[in-house]
Structure 1
Amino acid sequence: MQRRRFLQSSALASTLLLVPKFLHALDRPEARLATMLRDAPAGQARRLVVVQLSGGNDGLNTLIPYRNDLYYKARPTLALQATDGLLPLSDDLALHPAMKGLKSLFDQGQVAICNAVGYPNPDRSHFRSMDIWQSGSGSDQTLSTGWLGRYLDNSCAGCALPYQALEIDDTLSLALKGASRNGLALKNPGKFHQLTQSRYLSRLSQEKAAASGSELDYLYKTLAETASSADYLYDKSKIHNSTATYPNTDFGRNLKTTAELVNSGVESRVYYLALSGFDTHVQQRGRQAQLLGELSDGLAALAADLQKSGEWSNTLVMVFSEFGRRVTQNASNGTDHGTANNVFLLSGALRKAGLLNPAASLADLDQGDLRYQLDFRSLYASILTDWLGADASLVLGAGVAPLAGLLG
């Protein structure tokens, strides 16, 4: 049987595109977070939940320098005022008023914020900058595998099956694609299981007897692993149904699915979610307020859900965006693509919470953009080493050091 015939005959290739997701890899050749994160409860594996804010969230109107005259000068109509109901975190910085849920977690010592996170020679293209963040590369590199995919390849003990890293979406991001192992993308365990039970799988298994060749063997192995993972996730998903109240949005439902899988005992080490819509070139205030409220309420619901089940202390949530926005507002009451941004870390096991480093200076800009202070790859290295217990050098290369002198 020819490979083309195989792909054409598979319903999986034409619906959730499961086969291509896995085939992508075939042609692609001191004080650390340990001082910040308490040990997980005995016998419980730690997990990482990554939340991607797609489009480039405006960090300056998320974490607001509300006593800085330069901020108000750069944003005469877009800047948020103290009278707007800001949520102060310090004498100088406040959260957006829509983020009350996150502020409550901050006050409980369950949020840490890294300011001015970025990388040298930043790229302002959505696609290229997201590739950089998802692959863990430098701006002068192009990698075909993701940082979490390489974690699965090299450092995740017992992570042979794809359900060890789950993206709660219909397609798999670069971040979860490795050279030999990939994560799995699904929106709903029940529908995903139903798809893998389709009549096409039995037809394909019958045709397997007439097939030969290592590539076809790999395809069938992939389908078998996918079906096995679907069975596992479907069976587990029936164990626990969350009664927590999440935002009635796609992102809220994805967070609820994540919590249900965690609370059902799914062994996944990584969950990956995205909230889109942050490319706010026009009329930013209303749109960003809606999105930040959805993010904050959703994360607060997730934390409460996992606290109730005792799973919050071995969960770390990282929230990032591919870049920030320009310091000066544009003529459309929005902001254009910028550079450095804040990254939020949430967990019930933070040793050191709060603002982990100073905000970027508004008096020392790089051609109108914030200068980065922390390289995002050092943050990745700390998470890999000190939270997931991985060898960061196998994932990011020998030249990337974990954060030192910042989190202790």
Structure 2
Amino acid sequence: MATSRRDFLRNSALASTLLLVPKFLHALDRGPGLARLSNAPGARRLIVVQLSGGNDGLNTVIPFRNDLYYKARPTLGIREADGILALDKDLGLHPALKGLKGLYDQGHLAVLNSVGYPNPDRSHFRSMDIWQSGSGSEQVVSTGWLGRYLDSNCPDCQRPYNALEVDDTLSLALKGSQRKGLALKSPDKFHQISQNRLLAKVSKEASTEHHSQVDYLYKTLAETASSADYLYDKSKIYQSTATYPNSDFGKNLKTTAELINSGVESRVYYLALSGFDTHVRQHEQQQRLFTDLGDGLAVLAADLQKNNQWDNTLVLVFSEFGRRVGQNASNGTDHGTANNVFLAGGALQKKGVINDAPDLANLDQGDLRHQVDFRSIYANILKDWLGADDAAILGTGFERMSGLV
């Protein structure tokens, strides 16, 4: 071989995600005749939207009748005259979140306040690991909560495309010990990489030899290549005409809607919107990001509703932590603790503002105290929405928040 298999596996980043496909493994390709997810009894999907950087929850769901809020944020606080979108319990959404307010008015949005975990960590990386793994702050876990869902023999989990991250890399959240999700920016790009000539050459040469030590790798890559073909073919069925935000996040939402409306049977989709580390100039950053978020989710919901896919879809929106209650000297906020979580969908059991606003008179050294453990929400989603064994996936020791979905 001009290129040794050892060198290829060592040097090619693609080998971790794609695509050595020996011909003897094409029996793994997806067979015809599987029902569309929307037509399967009780079939439901989850879309996770991660707000990376630590979104400021107090300027997202605003306690606009609380004087302590404005005392802590004399210039950063948002006032009714700024166009706050009123909710229940003396709370309102940021003026740029008109899309979320529309979902709220339809009964398709639930707002949870003061979500966090005991002994919170203010490091972006560590706190994100905690949220993505579904662990406690004192634990270090190498698998993600949705990856363990894939490991749990959930319906159709043998399909390698059962969980998709619309991005170039796969997050910890979708990594299990036995199964993992797939990361793809678009079905076209994913399929294009699978047709790489060097990979095809190595695949052809490998197909004439049998090396037991790499059989597992070949099997994994074959499944991935088969998925690339399947997703590429499926994605051509439905091309959305909806007007999504002209941004990377908007394009990822459109890709997600097209995959769903094309009949892809994936149970989990994972997306991220970055830029929420607002130490400086928070007003400008949140205005831009929230317009992207609110408008994008509103278009997604309408796109799925039009194709009868919204009632079996649940959207979870979270960030790794909130911000300090008091503003800093740079018209921004620093790393904090508890935060908002949003749930959106056409079949919510509870909707509106689910729990009370954060108690600004009872802070922990300037930070919000959490009322709800984020794993309680995960447990509810796993058990009541996805039909999984939440205790086996997350463990015990916290109260499951039931009745949301």
Establish whether TM, by shorter chain, passes 0.5.
Answer: yes
The aligned residue for residue 199 of structure 1 is: 197
In 1, distance between residues paired with 2:6 and 2:119?
42
Match of 2:358 among 350, 357, 360: 360
In 1, distance between residues paired with 2:390 and 2:300?
28
The aligned residue for residue 71 of structure 2 is: 73
The aligned residue for residue 103 of structure 1 is: 101
The aligned residue for residue 29 of structure 2 is: none
Secondary structure at 2:115 match in 1:
strand
- Residue type matched to 1:12 in 2? L
Match of 1:320 among 318, 343, 349: 318
The aligned residue for residue 340 of structure 2 is: 342
In 1, distance between residues paired with 2:187 and 2:42?
23
The aligned residue for residue 212 of structure 2 is: 213
In 2, distance between residues paired with 1:185 and 1:112?
28
How far the C-alpha of 1:401 sits from its partner, in A, is 3.9
- Residue type matched to 2:56 in 1? D
How far the C-alpha of 1:211 sits from its partner, in A, is 5.1
How far the C-alpha of 1:91 sits from its partner, in A, is 4.8
Count the aligned residue pairs: 384
Output aligned runs, 1:7-406, within 5 Å.
7-8=9-10, 10=12, 12-13=14-15, 17-18=16-17, 43=41, 45-205=43-203, 206-210=205-209, 212-214=211-213, 216-404=214-402
In 2, distance between residues paired with 1:60 and 1:279?
14
- Residue type matched to 1:89 in 2? L
Greater shift after overlay, 164-173 or 205-214?
205-214
In 2, distance between residues paired with 1:328 and 1:371?
14
Greater shift after overlay, 384-393 or 84-93?
84-93
How far the C-alpha of 1:399 sits from its partner, in A, is 3.5
In 2, distance between residues paired with 1:287 and 1:266?
34
How far the C-alpha of 1:124 sits from its partner, in A, is 0.1
**Which segments of 5 or more consecutive residues in structure 2 lack a partner in the other structure?**
20-37
Secondary structure at 1:162 match in 2:
coil
Contact kept? 2:89, 2:357, Cα under 8 Å: no
Secondary structure at 1:191 match in 2:
helix
- Residue type matched to 1:207 in 2? A
TM-score normalised according to structure 2 size: 0.91
TM-score normalised according to structure 1 size: 0.90
- Residue type matched to 2:139 in 1? Q
How far the C-alpha of 1:138 sits from its partner, in A, is 0.4
In 1, distance between residues paired with 2:13 and 2:93?
47
In 1, distance between residues paired with 2:209 and 2:11?
15
The aligned residue for residue 26 of structure 1 is: none
In 1, distance between residues paired with 2:207 and 2:370?
53
The aligned residue for residue 33 of structure 1 is: none
Greater shift after overlay, 194-203 or 164-173?
194-203
How far the C-alpha of 1:209 sits from its partner, in A, is 4.0
- Classify 1:154/1:301 alpha carbon distance in 2 versus 1 (closer, same or farther; 3 Å): same
- Classify 1:41/1:71 alpha carbon distance in 2 versus 1 (closer, same or farther; 3 Å): farther
**Which segments of 5 or more consecutive residues in structure 1 lack a partner in the other structure?**
21-39
How far the C-alpha of 1:44 sits from its partner, in A, is 5.5
Could you say what the CA RMSD is over the residues aligned between the two structures, in angstroms? 1.9
How far the C-alpha of 1:195 sits from its partner, in A, is 1.1
Contact kept? 1:56, 1:325, Cα under 8 Å: yes
In 1, distance between residues paired with 2:53 and 2:14?
29
In 2, distance between residues paired with 1:119 and 1:198?
45
In 1, distance between residues paired with 2:377 and 2:298?
23
The aligned residue for residue 7 of structure 2 is: 5
- Classify 1:280/1:12 alpha carbon distance in 2 versus 1 (closer, same or farther; 3 Å): same
Greater shift after overlay, 65-74 or 190-199?
190-199
How far the C-alpha of 1:114 sits from its partner, in A, is 0.8
How far the C-alpha of 1:402 sits from its partner, in A, is 1.6
- Classify 1:3/1:150 alpha carbon distance in 2 versus 1 (closer, same or farther; 3 Å): farther
- Residue type matched to 1:189 in 2? P
How far the C-alpha of 1:12 sits from its partner, in A, is 2.2
- Residue type matched to 1:321 in 2? S
- Residue type matched to 1:193 in 2? H
- Classify 1:11/1:150 alpha carbon distance in 2 versus 1 (closer, same or farther; 3 Å): closer
Contact kept? 2:238, 2:258, Cα under 8 Å: yes
In 2, distance between residues paired with 1:155 and 1:161?
11
- Classify 1:125/1:10 alpha carbon distance in 2 versus 1 (closer, same or farther; 3 Å): closer
Greater shift after overlay, 101-110 or 268-277?
101-110
Deviations 1:214-260 (A, max 9, x none): 3x111111110110000110010000000111000000000000000
How far the C-alpha of 1:10 sits from its partner, in A, is 4.7
Deviations 1:309-368 (A, max 9, x none): 000000000000000000000000100000000100000001221011111100000110
In 2, distance between residues paired with 1:160 and 1:91?
45
